[in-house]
Amino acid sequence: MEQRMRRATRGRVAALATVGLLLAAGFGAGAAPVQAADTNLVVNGGFEDGLANWFVNNGNASDGAQLSATSDAYAGANAALVTSRTTTGSGPMQDLSGKVQAGQAYTLTARIKYENASGPATKQFFATMHYGGGTYTNLVSVTATKGQWAQFNGTFTIPATQTVSTARLFFETPWTATPSTDPDLHLMDFKLDDVSVVGAAPPAPASKTIEVVGKLPGEHNPLIGHKFGADGFGLVHDGRVYMYMTNDTQGYAPNPATGVSPGINYGDINQITVISSADLVNWTDHGEIQVAGPNGVAPFTANSWAPGITKKVVNGVEKFFLYYANGGGSSNVITGASPLGPWTSERTSTLIDGRTPGAENVAWKFDPAPFVDDDGQPYLYFGGGPASTSMPPAERFNNPKNIRAIELDDTMVATQGTAAVVDAPVAFEAGHVFKRQGRYYFSYSSHFGGNDFGGSQQPLPGYPGGGQIGYLISDNPMSWPKETYAGVLFPNQSQFFGAGTGGNNHQSVFEFEGKYYFTYHAPTLNKRINGNTTQGYRSPHIQELAFNPDGTIQQVVGTYAGVNQVRDFDPYRVFEAETFGWSKGVATTKIDGGSAQFGGTAPNLAVRDIDNGDWTALSSVDFGDNGAQSVTAKVRALAAGGQIQVRLDSATGPVVGTAAVDTPVGQWAEVTAELAGVTGVHDVYFTYTGPAGVDLFEIDTWAFQAATLELPVTVTASARCVGGKVYVAVQARNDGDAPVGIALETAYGERSFAAVAPGANAYQSFNTRAVSVPAGSATVRVTGAIGGQDVTTVRTVQHPAGTCGG
């Protein structure tokens, strides 16, 4: 990860006036009048829906409490009761991120009561905002009398300079570092009811849709152009490569006027983005895993950076283990039933933290990278950050010893033994291990020097420069002395992609169908959006990895061209519409139900924000010699007049089919475009047209239908009288240029003919043995080959009724 921010020591902003606070009762200011446009930003403030939208403040690792509903309410049926508090800040919390705005004033009201028999006669309580990290601001205060409901009633103004990407409101007693010394005074139970924060409604969220073509047609890097993703980690499973990434898009919020987003804020990232591909060029977007945060799979963690994943059979069941950094201070793991989940947490506390043996001197206990050896033994590599100040300056710079290797136990969710030092030269972060031909390769990102690494120095000869990917080679996955250093695997990405693309990097290596591939990130999509000035939003890339005869790695060159497509795309199936070789102006969103392609337990996404002139495309689609006759899309119309055009080889190529999206607005339905002249291998572009200024439709899936192969044949049937009986005569003429087999079938008999020559007829007159027969049908089956493929063509022909005699 780039530009990691150390977690600040919690500091309480107690001087209320310094943050523009205006309080009502007890502080000399009346509540601001509520304007018509104002709204209550708190959800379920009266707790009539139980504890929905509320949780216990978890801003610090030591925070903890029990939150429950109680019928002892100030008004209505319910209030919230908080018990078993471990810190003064352990109280009910609601996330107001995205709702409150810097520079705006708000009115806060709430009711609070405490009843502890041993508590003081009166007690001050605060409504407090946590803006992330160590920034806490007391908003409104009230002094309550024991056993009586007290009312918070005041206004507060958020400073114009305050970052509000994180804004979490909670209720607490005045902060003290050692509340356990007098729990009756500091940690009493209390009840909360009728909470409201009234002010200007939040603005509509900034559109995250990337309108430029971020992945240029013909190029294969970055892997996707409709969203960001960093720290990519590749997993090969069942013929696909899955890529797990830090969700850089989570904080992306471009200014509607300038198109420029504020810089990336790692503290807000608690999701992991997943994409996958069977060919390394067309990538399917699987959306985000909500890993951390109050609603995450592991809610006891706050962040999810730098994922690493592996799979292993545990107790006879194949499981997938997704490791991630919980900020800089710890790492954790969640477990999946498949590469796409569903995900669960088998732990209730972090996997790697200050308690991990051998990790005590590691500043940043993050960037966990798993590796399972051929014998089934799993390992985890983690760590990074500033070197220990106890080292001499030269050692701090050249051999900071800030990364660790440790064994995992058979469950994959616990460590065993003591972590060993990885003595990687000039190491900073991003440790990763893979195995090839019995040897272990450890790669990592190098640091940029500075005070954290002994001051400004030059690395020893051969050691990596700043922001490069170096590597070591060892015969033991737990032994990495500096003597195993083998060189620089990848220079800094700015060497290849130019201004605005520098910074740290994070890599992985995977083997796919006999070749090795190297993943890395660079802010190339961010650069195409904003020019040479980027804001740190990174995108995934892949290059092929080549080795020298002695096992060392040939230095990787970063390119926009990327890797070759390993196979042509198969269109003759139902596949997700959020599969892109390239795209322009669209986004994706999760929708209800499971995936038609990946199964009912996999997340289902659709393509959204489709406007007039947008398009999506697939690379190297193989339609075969016989071609496709149609394509069907599952769509949800959002406006009348939308169309899907199918084009070959470019967004302005010939239109080979058009589907009108004329289905009922707001409902999912299927539309089909008949195709003409679609054979062989082509890039396929779906271009979207319709009224300007509106979203046209959403798309869930595509499915192409192969053209039906038919042998040319002309068939006739008639009824006639012979000897007073009706005969049904059937004739089939071979109109092709090769012999075919023909079978004639009626209710009155069957006749087969082998190798009927071109232009020749197969004929049979069937005796019905009746003087009168009703009208009926005959079936003709023609068998042959077209283009080397066996084909059967069936024709049905009607014959008239027949009557003989009188």
Catalytic residue numbers, as ranges: 231, 429
Buried b (16+ CB within 10 A) or exposed e, 569-587: bebeeebbbbbbbbbbbbb
Buried b (16+ CB within 10 A) or exposed e, 442-479: bbbbbbebeebbbeeeebeeebbbbbbbbbbbbeebee
Which residues lie across from 553 on neighbouring strands? 547
Alpha-carbon gap, residue 19 to 162, rounded angstroms: 10
| Residue 553 DSSP symbol | B
Pairing verdict, β 135-145 and 11-13: parallel
Q: Cα torsion at 100, 104, 110, 115 (round to 10°)?
A: 90
Contact 773, 699 (CB under 8 A): no
Least Cα distance to 222 among 516, 534, 556, 561 occurs for 561
Least Cα distance to 288 among 338, 237, 234, 250 occurs for 250
Residue type, 49: D
Alpha-carbon gap, residue 88 to 629, rounded angstroms: 69
Alpha-carbon gap, residue 330 to 349, rounded angstroms: 10
Alpha-carbon gap, residue 248 to 3, rounded angstroms: 13
Q: How far is CA 432 from CA 118, 379, 403, in A?
A: 55, 11, 10
Give the long-range contacts of residues 69-75, CB within 8 A, separation 24 or more.
70/191, 72/191, 73/46, 73/47, 73/191, 73/193, 74/111, 74/113, 74/149, 74/193, 74/194, 75/46, 75/111, 75/193, 75/194
Residue type, 635: V
H helices of 399-531, where?
A: 494-497, 524-530
Alpha-carbon gap, residue 180 to 197, rounded angstroms: 31
Which residues lie across from 130 on neighbouring strands? 136, 168
Contact 522, 222 (CB under 8 A): yes
